[in-house]
Structure formats: C-alpha cells, structure tokens
Amino acid sequence: MPAQPSHTPTPATPDPGPEALRADARENRERILRAAREAYALHGIDVPISAIARRAGVGVATLYRRFPTRTSLITEAFTEQLTECAGALDEALEDPDPWRGFCTVVRKVCAMQAADRGFTHAFLARFPGDTAYAGELDRAEEGLALLVRRAKEAGALRPDFDVSDVVLALLANNGVAKGAGPESAAASRRLVGYLLESFRAGPATGPLPPPAELELDRLGGTG
Amino acid sequence: MPAQPSHTPTPATPDPGPEALRADARENRERILRAAREAYALHGIDVPISAIARRAGVGVATLYRRFPTRTSLITEAFTEQLTECAGALDEALEDPDPWRGFCTVVRKVCAMQAADRGFTHAFLARFPGDTAYAGELDRAEEGLALLVRRAKEAGALRPDFDVSDVVLALLANNGVAKGAGPESAAASRRLVGYLLESFRAGPATGPLPPPAELELDRLGGTG
DNA sequence: CGGTAAACGGACGATCCCTTCCACTTAGCC
DNA sequence: GGCTAAGTGGAAGGGATCGTCCGTTTACCG
C-alpha cells in the first residue's frame, strides 16, 4: 500500500465512512449491500463479485472501490445479522429462566443459519485483521458462558455440557441447513429439537464423549 | 458420442474394464485411485485433477483417459468406502440387539465421515446417470428402515423417530466433521453421543418438530 | 528382435473468477 | 451555468482449473 499524498484532510483513514460519500455513491453502496445480502442468502458466499455487481445494477469497479476486498464486503453485509445475534444473546441473558433463554438463542441463531446460506460462513470464517468481528465474538463467548453457567446452576442444563457444545450445535446445524429449500429449515428445526433435548439435564444421561476444543474461529475454514 | 467402428469385440462397453488393460496402464490406474483417495481424504473432493495426477506420478492425460469425467473418478475412488458402509449396515442387521446395531452403524458411518473429508461429499452427491450408486442407496435405505423399525419395536428407539433422521444425523455430523484436524473427529464423536442419546426412547421426551423430507440424494448439492 | 497399437505426458485452448486501470460522466459548490 | 473532483462502467491483466490434442514412448505378441 503506497503512501498517501502528503496532506489530505483524512490522513489515516482510507475509508471516509458511508456518510461522507456523495449522494449517488451512498445510494449505490446500499444497493450493493442489499444485492450482496440477497445473493449470499440464496447462493452462499461463493457467488462471484460480478454477479453481485450485476444484481446491484452497478459496475464491478464501483463495488471494488467501496469494498476493496472480498471479505470487507462480506463483513459489512453480515454485520446486521451479527448484531441481531448479539441482541438475541442479550435478550436471553435477561430472561429470568436461563434454560428458556438458552433454548431461545440457540433456536434463533440456528434458524438464521437455515434461512441464510451465507450467514454461517460469514459467522464462522475468520477474517484476518478484522477487529470488529473479533470484539463481537469475544463478547458473545463471554455472554454465552454466563448463560450456560446459569442454566446449569438452575439444574436445567446437563452438568457435563460444555460451552463449545454450542459451537458444535451451530456446526451441526450448518451441515443440515446448507440445502437451499424450505425442507432444510424444517430439518434444522428438528435437529435443534433433538439437540436441545439431549442438552437438557435428565435422569438417565450416560457418559458422553469428551468435548472437542472447538473455537468459533479456526472452523468453517476450508469445507 | 459417435458410433463405434462396426465390429469391435466389445461393441457396447466403452470401458473395457480394469482387467483388460495393459500391465502398466492397470498399475497407473491403481496409483491414480490411491492418490485420489488420499487427496480426497485430506482436502475434500475439490482438489484439482492435476494435483491428483501429480501425486500419482502420471500425466493429466493418463488420468483423463482412465476416468473421463471428474465424477467417474470420485465414484470409483469411494466405492470401497461405500461397500464398507453397506457391510456395517448388514452387520447391524444381524445384531440381536437392534438398538446396539443402530448405534454401531451410526457411529461407524459418522466416524468415516470424520476421518475422510471427501467421503460425505461423494456419499451424498448425486451423480447423474450413475446406476451403481443408486442401487446401493436403495438397498441401504431399505436395510435402514428395517433396522429402525426393529429398534422401535424393541422399545429402544423413540417412536417419533423417522428414517430420515438418520440422514439428518449424517448431515449434522458432516457439518461438524468438515474441519480437518483430530478435534473434528472428537467433535463428531461428541455430537453422535448427543444425538444417539436423544434418539433413544426415554420417559420425558417432549414433542419434536416434524421430520423434514430428507432424501439421501437431493442433498449435499451446492453447499 | 521388431512392429504395432495402446499408453503416456506436457502443452494448449477455453472458461471462470478476482482485481486493476482508464476514459467518460455527474453531483455538488461557487 | 460551469468547474472540479468524486464517481462510474467496461475492458483488460493475471491466475487457476478443466478437458483435449498430439508427438513420443513402451508393453506385448509373433
């Protein structure tokens, strides 16, 4: 990355932010994001950039100037949904019944996975150098750990449940939800039903294989 | 496909079969299959043909003459494992305890998924016009249905279990097993532990979301 | 041992995708 | 209204993979 001309008004920020854009550019930026969300939801994050540009009715160059890298577009496109996830977690933490909160958040995130083919990929993929994601993820993991602890203390979640089992559930659900149609949504619901049932503390739970050391990053990489 | 010369000894079979090959060609064919299995296990079925050829120590043309299409190579490479699956199912059917048989076959196939990155893809992907697969699949589904019925009658498998839930489990497991390392094998084992527990007939099982109309084909397509 | 056809390998054209470049257009300010 | 810089679209460069072609090599048979 070459040095900027010596005295631009914004020396350290290559991205002036969406508000500083010219009106038409801001409009196009929104169109691109909308198109990207639609395309990702329908076809996963593997859709060519050119397809997104075409769907947005702009040229490829326009897209690239606004989102210099592929990942920056993906990141931006899914920020909304990530926020929604974080909100779901916050709501769950406010529920007086921690088990109900736990179920709700798991159901919600899994339903989002099933509804949007690209979501999990964006959710699980580690974007190098992307600090916004990292912060959210850390916060989410903290909140999740708290929720799990409370649900266990309430005697509703089985004691040998591990926080990483949430990731396990998300990955499993992702495997089911990848198919496009409405039946994959149904399949996802049924899987979550099974899983939540086995997560619940019960009388006759036998020993379980040990939890894998799953992290929210490190996963969803190459598959 | 143009007509053959009028009177070849094998008029209807474009593939003379591995035995009729020249010695060096047969040797190379085996090398290619071995290389393909290794590569698929390590990196999934997305590895370039050229990489497999290189690994096998042959040129690309050699590979293409033996396996005219990408899928023909994949099909051939995974036949062995499919046979193993069928064998596992047969064994399970001979087990006097249908529940134990059921658990064993689920664990086995899921472990194979976790051990071999390409396996599920080859297992679930529908290859148009591939009759060998179709026959095996039909047989497998029959056997599975029988096993499930027996396990239910024995009172070990919950009554609202559906045969398609096996596919559900495989897809879920696939989502977990996609990561390469040993921890994905551990994750797979743990998931299967959870799932089998929730599949087991128990006292306090609440209502479950309805089964999706999952078929062994139609899935694993585009994701 | 020599001939022939099968088999071989590397190079090649086609296709797809990402990314950059450049000449033209247009919004926003004076 | 006109100037300027931001913005735009399409074309072109670069990389990867698929599948084919063709001149060369080699196994097998007589």
Read off the pLDDT of residues A97-136 as tens digits, 9 standing for 90 and up: 999 999 999 999 999 999 998 888 777 665 545 566 677 7
* Domain assignment present for A55: yes
- Which two three-digit tokens encode residue A156? 């509703």
**Nucleotide showing the shortest C1' distance to residue B47 CA:** D17
| pLDDT at residue A134 in the model | 72
For B44-87, the pLDDT digits (tens) are 999 999 999 999 999 999 999 999 988 899 989 998 888 899 99
- Domain of residue A47, CATH code: 1.10.10.60
DSSP state of B11: S
* Domain assignment present for B8: no
Strand partners, A200: A157
* Domain assignment present for B83: yes
| pLDDT at residue A119 in the model | 87
CA distances from B166 to A180, B161, B169 (A): 19, 9, 5
Please tell me the total count of domains within chain B.
2
**Do B42 and B124 share a domain, yes or no?**
no
The answer to whether B131 and B87 have CB atoms below 8 angstroms apart is no
Across A206-215, B148-157, B169-178, least confident range:
A206-215
Taking the CA of residue A178 and the C1' sugar atom of nucleotide D8, their distance in angstroms comes to 36
**Do B136 and B60 share a domain, yes or no?**
no
**Do B56 and B141 share a domain, yes or no?**
no
The percent of residues in chain B predicted with pLDDT above 70, rounded, is 82
| pLDDT at residue A13 in the model | 39
**Do A142 and A51 share a domain, yes or no?**
no
* Domain assignment present for B104: yes
**Do B86 and B184 share a domain, yes or no?**
yes
**Burial of residue B38, with CB atoms counted within 10 A of its CB: 0-12 exposed, 13-18 middle, 19 or more buried:** middle
**Nucleotide showing the shortest C1' distance to residue A26 CA:** D7
**Neighbouring C-beta atoms of residue A187, cutoff 10 Å:** 30
The percent of residues in chain B predicted with pLDDT above 90, rounded, is 59
* Site of tokens 């992290």: A215
Strand partners, B157: B200
Of B68, B88, B104, the last residue of a domain is B68
What does the DSSP assignment read for B34-69? HHHHHHHHHH-TTS-HHHHHHHHTS-HHHHHHHSSS
**Do A180 and A147 share a domain, yes or no?**
yes
Residues of B numbered 128-187 whose beta carbons fall under 8 angstroms of chain A's beta carbons: which are they?
165, 168, 171-176, 178-180, 183-184, 186-187
**Do A186 and A85 share a domain, yes or no?**
yes
Domain that holds residue B30: 18-68
| pLDDT at residue B8 in the model | 33
A49 touches strand D (CB under 7 A): no
* Domain assignment present for A36: yes
Taking the CA of residue A62 and the C1' sugar atom of nucleotide C22, their distance in angstroms comes to 14
**Do B45 and B117 share a domain, yes or no?**
no
User: What is the average pLDDT score of chain B?
Assistant: 84
The shortest CB-CB distance from A171 to any of B175, B212, B221 is to B175
Size of interface A-B (CB pairs under 8 A): 133
**Do B109 and B190 share a domain, yes or no?**
yes
